[in-house]
């Protein structure tokens, strides 16, 4: 696994407040990496250090082995949660200006802006002032400004804020396409269902420390609790379940069982099948990232 970003024992304090303490993790290249944490956890402080807006008190951040204090401007694309657009400037004019700041030629800047405005279905608004756009449309402009210079690493902080479902799907598709083309994306959000949908790996920060880091699929396996959805052709007598199995939900067509271990449920199912009761459905219930997030954060309270 190739690593593009290394965060090594990063600490940061503001006066008496410790924002980050010895935070370390690696971001694999060509992946979508979730940077998660409750409000006040230290995510924004960390993003500002990664993007070289502020400096760490201790530790270092390496991009492809090089300290981020020394990398060229524009190597990292950063889309902050707060919009940073000039409201009185026209959309196309503003985007071309951002391209020129990143040392594109005027011709290339114009080509990129035209391409992205059409791609995001807002070409008709190219000559409108930003203040005339809805919040969702401004969010799309902010996204274009972040990606159009094709940085190898993107940091997206709540990129779906203010978007309706149609435009959320549009931005989601663009993020996945960027990954397919080789871009690495750090994705910060409070929407755990979106993290589950697109992230390969996550780190969870709480009270300035990273408390959890792993691949999403691995985390769900580690935190599972031996809960199963089970259905038989004939509904079993749930008053006589074997020792070690708890009935969490009982409906006519489905039982939700929690067991001490998987073998206990398997034994119960074999007994039912042996007795002539056909198994119709069995599914292990894996925890959501939202469940894992809440449990892990509450451990530190």
pLDDT tens digits for range 62-76: 999 999 888 887 889
E-only strand ranges, the chain: 3-14, 17-28, 32-36, 58-63, 66-67, 76-79, 153-157, 184-188, 201-206, 209-215, 227-232, 245-251, 254-259, 279-284
pLDDT 10s digits, 201-228: 999 999 999 999 999 999 999 999 999 9
Residue 213: its H or E element: strand 209-215
Please report, rounded to a whole number, the percentage of residues in the chain having pLDDT higher than 90. 66
Is residue 144 over pLDDT 90? yes
Q: What is the CA radius of gyration of the chain?
A: 24
Per-domain boundaries in the chain: 3-221, 225-285
pLDDT 10s digits, 176-197: 999 999 999 999 988 888 999 9
pLDDT band at residue 250, thresholds of 50, 70 and 90?
Answer: confident
pLDDT score at 132: 93
Span of 21-35, 132-146, 160-174, 230-244 with lowest mean pLDDT: 230-244
pLDDT score at 49: 94
pLDDT band at residue 40, thresholds of 50, 70 and 90?
Answer: confident
Is residue 13 over pLDDT 90? yes
Is residue 301 over pLDDT 60? no
pLDDT band at residue 300, thresholds of 50, 70 and 90?
Answer: low
CATH class of 3-221: alpha beta
Q: For 225-285, CATH number?
A: 3.30.70
pTM for the whole structure: 0.87
pLDDT score at 262: 82
Tally of CA atoms within 13 A in the half-sphere of 295 that contains its CB: 13
Q: How far apart are CA 224 and CA 287, in angstroms?
A: 6
pLDDT score at 260: 82
Query: Which one, of 194, 144, 196, 197, lies nearest residue 174 by Cα?
Result: 144
């Amino acid at each position: 696994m190739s690593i593009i970003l290394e965060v090594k024992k990063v600490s940061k304090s503001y006066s008496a407040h410790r924002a980050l303490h010895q935070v370390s993790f690696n971001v694999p290249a060509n992946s979508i990496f979730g940077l998660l944490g409750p409000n006040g956890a230290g995510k924004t402080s960390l993003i500002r250090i990664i993007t070289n807006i502020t400096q760490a008190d201790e530790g270092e951040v390496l991009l492809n082995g090089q300290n981020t204090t020394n990398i060229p401007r524009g190597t990292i694309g950063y889309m902050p949660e707060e919009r940073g657009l000039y409201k009185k400037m026209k959309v196309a004019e503003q985007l071309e200006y951002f391209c020129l700041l990143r040392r594109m030629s005027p011709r290339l800047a114009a080509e990129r802006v035209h391409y992205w405005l059409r791609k995001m279905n807002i070409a008709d608004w190219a000559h409108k002032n930003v203040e005339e756009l809805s919040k969702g449309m401004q969010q799309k402009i902010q996204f274009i400004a972040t990606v159009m210079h094709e940085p190898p690493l993107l940091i997206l902080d709540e990129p779906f804020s203010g978007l309706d479902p149609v435009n959320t799907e549009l931005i989601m598709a663009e993020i996945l396409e960027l990954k397919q083309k080789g871009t690495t994306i750090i994705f910060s959000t409070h929407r755990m269902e979106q993290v589950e949908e697109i992230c390969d790996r996550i780190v969870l920060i709480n009270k300035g420390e990273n408390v959890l880091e792993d691949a999403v699929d691995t985390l769900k396996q580690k935190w599972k609790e031996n809960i199963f959805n089970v259905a038989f052709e004939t509904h079993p007598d749930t008053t006589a379940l074997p020792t070690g199995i708890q009935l969490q939900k009982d409906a006519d067509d489905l039982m939700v069982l929690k067991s001490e271990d998987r073998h206990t449920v398997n034994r119960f199912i074999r007994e039912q099948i042996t007795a002539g009761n056909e198994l119709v459905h069995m599914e292990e219930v894996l925890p959501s990232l939202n469940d894992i997030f809440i449990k892990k954060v509450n451990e530190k309270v």
